[in-house]
């Protein structure tokens, strides 16, 4: 789950097996009715549920960790490899980018989600986009759309 984005059909099938296991036990042909709604089962224990994980959320969270490690330039071989192989000229990844392996493209599919929840902290400015990163809970491009329309380079970094 931390390697690639699971298709919705796979998650649906896994959830089907989890539901059957929970409600039917070892008897695969049992027709027992559920004792509780699946949504309630997936709720946290503090809220009265069983704490069963939502696989889509878990999958996306694990992939978002890859983006966090990448943008913070964590000292990991794969992070250095991707920076050196695909982004050595200072260009940053964009949503829908076709660069890299299948797992990197799956991580990049969540780039908008990551950018929406990540806070821009300027260090050397190489990986902080002026217009397209979140500043004070919103994008500058959304805060000043008319000014953004005049920008020659809309992907410009702080550096």
Confidence of residue 39 (pLDDT cuts 50, 70, 90): confident
pLDDT at 147: 86
Whole-number average pLDDT of the chain: 83
Q: What is the pLDDT of residues 46-80, one digit of tens each?
A: 998 889 999 999 999 999 999 999 988 889 999 99
Beta bridge partners, 135, equal 138
pLDDT at 59: 94
Residue with the two structure tokens 């809220």:
47
Q: Are strands 138-139 and 134-135 parallel, antiparallel or unpaired?
A: antiparallel
Q: Structural domain boundaries of the chain?
A: 8-55, 122-159
Residue with the two structure tokens 């919103």:
138
Confidence of residue 25 (pLDDT cuts 50, 70, 90): low
CB 116 within 8 Å of CB 136: no
pLDDT at 26: 66
Question: pTM of the predicted model, to two decimals?
Answer: 0.71
Confidence of residue 111 (pLDDT cuts 50, 70, 90): confident
CB 60 within 8 Å of CB 67: no
Q: How many CB atoms lie within 10 A of CB 122?
A: 14
Environment class of 152 (CB within 10 Å of its CB; exposed 0-12, middle 13-18, buried 19+): exposed
DSSP state of 120: P
pLDDT at residue 32 tops 80: no
């Amino acid at each position: 789950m931390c390697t690639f984005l699971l298709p919705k059909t796979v998650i649906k099938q896994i959830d089907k097996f989890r539901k059957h296991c929970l409600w039917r036990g070892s008897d695969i042909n049992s027709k027992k009715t559920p004792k509780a709604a699946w949504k309630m089962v997936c709720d946290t224990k503090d809220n009265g549920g069983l704490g069963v994980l939502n696989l889509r959320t878990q999958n996306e969270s694990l992939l978002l960790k890859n983006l966090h490690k990448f943008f913070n330039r964590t000292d990991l071989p794969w992070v250095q490899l991707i920076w050196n192989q695909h982004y050595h000229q200072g260009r940053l990844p964009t949503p829908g980018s076709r660069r890299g392996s299948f797992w990197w493209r799956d991580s990049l599919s969540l780039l908008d989600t990551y950018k929406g929840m990540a806070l821009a902290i300027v260090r050397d400015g190489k990986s902080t986009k002026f217009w397209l990163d979140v500043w004070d809970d919103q994008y500058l491009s959304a805060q000043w759309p008319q000014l953004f329309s005049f920008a020659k380079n809309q992907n410009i970094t702080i550096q």
